[in-house]
Amino acid sequence: MRHETSDDVLCTLAAVAVERPPGTPLARLALPQAEAGDWATAVAADLARLVPEAAALDLVFASALYDPAELLRPHFPLHAALERYAARAPGPDGGRVIAFGAGPEGMAPDLAPDPGLADGPLKVLPFLLRGPADEVRRIGETLESRLLDTGMADAGTALATQAAFGLRCEHMRYLTLHDLMAMMAMQYEHAGLGALWPMVESALFGDGDEILLDAPPEPLVRYADGAVRIALLDADAWALGGFAPPGLDAEGMERAFARFEARQRQIAAVLAGHGLAVTFDHCPVGKDARAILRA
């Protein structure tokens, strides 16, 4: 994936993906600036092993661990911040390794990881390759064709990353942002959340599509114009609206409605993690919930 910065300068967007065992500790989310450069230099050398042409471009890293949803937000804000900072970095362009770590007060606000999303097993570190447009296009195509199949990090680089952040690293690999999106779409499908991915993808690329999740017993969700609206149903509206499984007694209905509410909260949390504004619209008995979401 490429990002235009000017007529003659281009960036291609990528990430380092680190998979750790669920529930294992994580010592820190960001490296101090004094350590960020050494880590990034090692990663850049490893990436050059896989794609030697990349060494001719500026490699720009955020030396911090993020949830994938933090990278996959409208306008790709973390990569955009990296590009802004790289454009102001001193020194001649080409072949630089630029790393942004934490100062005394932490990472810069537009690069600060969300501690509320720190527990996931998959962490990602955004980076970009920046340089002359023609070179970036050519090298970006190489990355797209090569990294998904051959992008596993060297064992020494993975161990250095493990030691730097104080985590257990099961796998570490390099991904283009397209690769990361494909991986996330697959994970959402396996988690029973596949219907949400078209909403995320539409928001990422500003397609402007309206997407309606209308598949009872799933909650009723509408995405449009970068925002999500979820029908907030009370128990009676839920039961009469066709969202309740058939044949349940009163106790079973109560449990099923509690699961429905939990599912609403899960959907809202997933979409909010991708930077989408989520609102709940009260849809009482006797009102058309679909019309309320479209109002």
For the segment 50-102, what is each residue's pLDDT rounded down to a tens digit? 999 999 999 999 999 999 999 999 999 999 999 999 999 888 888 999 999 99
In this structure, the chain runs to a length of: 295
Amino acid identity at 278: V
Question: Is 175:17 a contact under the CB 8 Å cutoff?
Answer: yes
For the segment 196-231, what is each residue's pLDDT rounded down to a tens digit? 999 999 999 887 789 999 999 999 999 998 899 999
For the segment 221-259, what is each residue's pLDDT rounded down to a tens digit? 999 988 999 999 999 999 999 899 888 888 999 999 999
Rounded to a whole number of angstroms, the CA Rg of the chain reads 22
Question: What is the DSSP annotation of 99-152?
Answer: EE-BBTTBS-GGG---GGGTT-SEEEEEEEEEEEHHHHHHHHHHHHHHHHHH-B
Structure tokens at 213: 């999740």
